[in-house]
Amino acid sequence: MPAKILVTEVIAPEGLAALEARGYEVDVKLNLSDSTLRAIIGDYDALIVRSATNVDKALLEAGKNLKVVGRAGVTCDNIDIEAANALDIIVCNAPTSNIVSAAEHTFALILACARRVPQANQSMHAGNWNREQFKGVELYGKTLALFGLGRVGGAVAERATAFGMRVLAYDPYCNPERATSLGVKLINDLDVILEQADFISVHLPVTSTTENMFGPEEFAKMKTGVIFVNTSRPAILDLNSLADFVAARKIASCGVDVFDDEPCYNSPLHSLPNAIITPHISALTEEAQVRSGVQIADYVWAGLEGSLVPTALTATGSAGEMSRHIAPFVPAANMLGRMVSQIKGSVPRIVKVKMMGNLAELDPTVLVTSVLEGLLSSNYTQCSTMLEAKRYAERHGVDIDCSGTDVAGEYAAGIEIVADDICISSTVFGSEKLPRITSILDYKIDVAPTKHSLIFEYEDMPGVCGIIGTVLGNHGINISTMQIANSDDGTKALVYVNVGKEVSDEIIEEFHEAINLKYLFRISL
């Protein structure tokens, strides 16, 4: 009996034809309610969506036969990847399908704002001929500031250079060599770049550091007469504040393609004649739709056939027996990346990933990708995929080296990362395969990290653990785990403390005053 595939949003006919040609039964059912979709999803082996279908935990659990969820587009914000991973359901996307379309639409908005094309067109259709009313500005010689120099940002940079623009970029985690190759100058001081920009274009994912990145203070620092364009994510900016500055002509014009609630029929920008607004169409070209449809058809087919899925965002996409061994270590690899990022305080230049014990002979790509995502998670990276792991590292100037060894100490398997001079290793334990740190900073320990923890290193002396407990107790912070390790020569000690809540800067300073510390790291996972 052929596998059944449900398609809930419009994808290119070429994609549907590719699936049908492989013998699958493909049902296209549009505009389904959440309850209706949950009621029928159990009959299907695969689900293909775009951005409007909410693929939450409840839907995934209802998909008793579901093996693959394909997103015919770049992001997977509408899919619960964590739940899919737990249910061994592959989630994949088509991450390169709309790069050109998104970059070209960005430039369409830049040009429309600069030359007031929509307003002039509307005036002409109204029977007017008001040339002086639509005096614009040139792009040539002007400064474009790009926030985010990823795939789309890089494509915009290439087009801006062709227009004779000076291109700056704010991307603290971009490889300087990549910026140089694009003819872009990196400026990672927000105030400095805002003051120089004649045009600003945003190409960032939403994370804790980029959400509401542009508000009243940032808009006030911009040049009077700047043109501001956003085709990435609505949560990057305060739309009400943007509207205020556009209305006041501090921002001469804006171009916006994305909104918090879509479809959007009313917003603060709707009534402003110098706001160019479009209904989320940056990826809506014939070419991008065909690419995304065909790509996702190929990846869904690979998933259903048990082959490696190049853009899998879940460990299950590693295929077959490999997945059973690799999947439990994906959270551990991500955890190690996050810890290194917070201990080091910056993105490392050289990262060595070692697969140990039973992992040694397996394809490391999924775990490397998870490490990379962890390394950059506190910045503003999106989920990387297996297909993009190498490009992802290169973009951020990270040199990745992988190796394997049959030796894993007293454990059956483990993973170790060395990031510049920082070394951490981990295994998994118990029926739930929870991550456990087995060594850190050359100290051998055995601890399961919780959400908040502290790592102390100091010249070994009596009473330090008592001081740690007293300070935390005085501030009402519980200790759930405390483990002590000594250096090989016995002169230094490391204390790993799991705590019940985040520790403030004031408490960190109190520790420095009370203990002769070599290092104190605060970790949040």
Residues that are catalytic = 233, 262, 280
Which pair of tokens denotes residue 69?
A: 């969820």
* SS3 call for 241: helix
- Give strand pairing partners of 479: 499
Which pair of tokens denotes residue 136?
A: 């614009």
Evaluated on CA atoms 274, 278, 282, 286, the torsion sign reads negative
Sheet holding 479-486, edge to edge: 479-486, 492-499, 452-459, 517-524
CB 368 within 8 A of CB 331: no
CB 78 within 8 A of CB 54: yes
Distance set, CA 383 to CA 62, 269, 276, 376, 464 (Å):
25, 31, 30, 10, 40
Q: Measure the CA–CA gap between 24 and 12, rounded to whole angstroms.
A: 16
CB 168 within 8 A of CB 146: yes
Q: How many CA atoms lie within 13 A of 218 on its CB side?
A: 19
Beta carbons within 10 angstroms of residue 350's beta carbon: 13
Which pair of tokens denotes residue 216?
A: 């009243």
Q: Measure the CA–CA gap between 259 and 277, rounded to whole angstroms.
A: 10
CB 196 within 8 A of CB 145: yes
Q: Which helix (H) or strand (E) holds 151?
A: helix 151-162
Determine the length of the chain.
Answer: 525
Which phi and psi (to 5°) does residue 285 adopt?
-125, 160
CB 221 within 8 A of CB 245: no
Three-class SS string for 301-319?
Answer: HHHHCCCCCCCECCHHHHC
Burial annotation 79-106 (CB, 10 A radius, 16+ → b, else e) = bbbebbbebebbbbbbbbbbbbbbbbbb
Q: Measure the CA–CA gap between 219 and 201, rounded to whole angstroms.
A: 13
Q: Which helix (H) or strand (E) holds 521?
A: strand 517-524
Which phi and psi (to 5°) does residue 168 adopt?
-110, 160
Radius of gyration of the CA atoms of the chain, in A: 26
CB 242 within 8 A of CB 271: no
Q: Measure the CA–CA gap between 37 and 57, rounded to whole angstroms.
A: 13
Q: Which helix (H) or strand (E) holds 217?
A: helix 216-221
Q: Smallest Cα–Cα separation from 341: which of 396, 387, 260?
A: 396
